[in-house]
Amino acid sequence: MEIDLDRPKDADDRLRREVHEVLHAVVAAGGAIGWQTPPDRTATDTWLDGVLTRVRAGDAALVVARVDGVVRATATWQRDPAKVFENCAELGKVTAHPSARGLGLGRVVVEAVVEDARSAGLEVLYLGVRGNNLGAIGLYEELGFREWGRLPNSIAVGDQRFDSVRMHLPLGHAPHVELRGSTPGGNGSSPRRRTP
């Protein structure tokens, strides 16, 4: 078995078909990747076209893992569109086709996306994951991601509710960047309100 990584910038019909097969199969197996029902080819093509447009503009990366020449895993980062967060990007669509589970493809594509984000000069990767997806949370923690917030029972899937877990991975800052955190002063600062 041979596993190869690719970073496409354009999509031919084969890539569209294989990415669709992965995304459709993951959702059909219960995967939480943004669709509540398995997406049709139009939906996955639209998603892929949007990501690849952003890839060509330098605002995203798409990594696909091929097993014996066939796409069986995906992952992306997409830069936050807000100017003050352009140093950050969201990790998303981390998938592995159910037939390829157990091959470590999730780790392979996430590690590749993290490296691509560092190379692009990003400072922070963040993601959202359902609180019950303990396998994914464990993988992200192994790769250095840490939870920064949790919105309890906020993800609605029919009559079921799941926690929305938010995680981040610091990628580093340029030497000239001043890290102020929550220190008072500077743009957007205001004094603490006094309570009577």
Name the 3-class secondary structure at 79: strand
CA–CA dist 165, 130 (Å, integer): 6
Amino acid 195: pLDDT: 79
180 within some domain: no
Using the 8-state DSSP alphabet, how is residue 149 labeled?
Answer: E
Both tokens of residue 96?
């592995």
CA–CA dist 175, 184 (Å, integer): 22
CA–CA dist 44, 20 (Å, integer): 6
147 within some domain: yes
36 within some domain: yes
Amino acid 72: pLDDT: 98
User: Domain total for the chain?
Assistant: 1
194 within some domain: no
Enclosing domain of residue 114: 3-170
136 within some domain: yes
153 within some domain: yes
CA–CA dist 78, 125 (Å, integer): 9
Amino acid 99: pLDDT: 95
Amino acid 108: pLDDT: 97
Looking up residue 70, the CATH number of its domain turns out to be 3.40.630.30
Contact 89, 125 (CB under 8 A): yes
Contact 87, 122 (CB under 8 A): yes
Averaged pLDDT, groups of 10, the chain, 196 residues long: 95 98 96 93 98 97 97 97 93 96 95 97 96 95 97 93 97 91 81 80
- What's this model's pTM, rounded to 2 decimal places? 0.91
182 within some domain: no
Name the 3-class secondary structure at 23: helix
Which contacts qualify for 75-83: CB closer than 8 Å, 24 or more apart? 75/106, 75/109, 75/110, 75/112, 75/113, 76/51, 76/113, 77/113, 77/116, 77/117, 77/122, 77/125, 78/51, 78/54, 79/54, 79/122
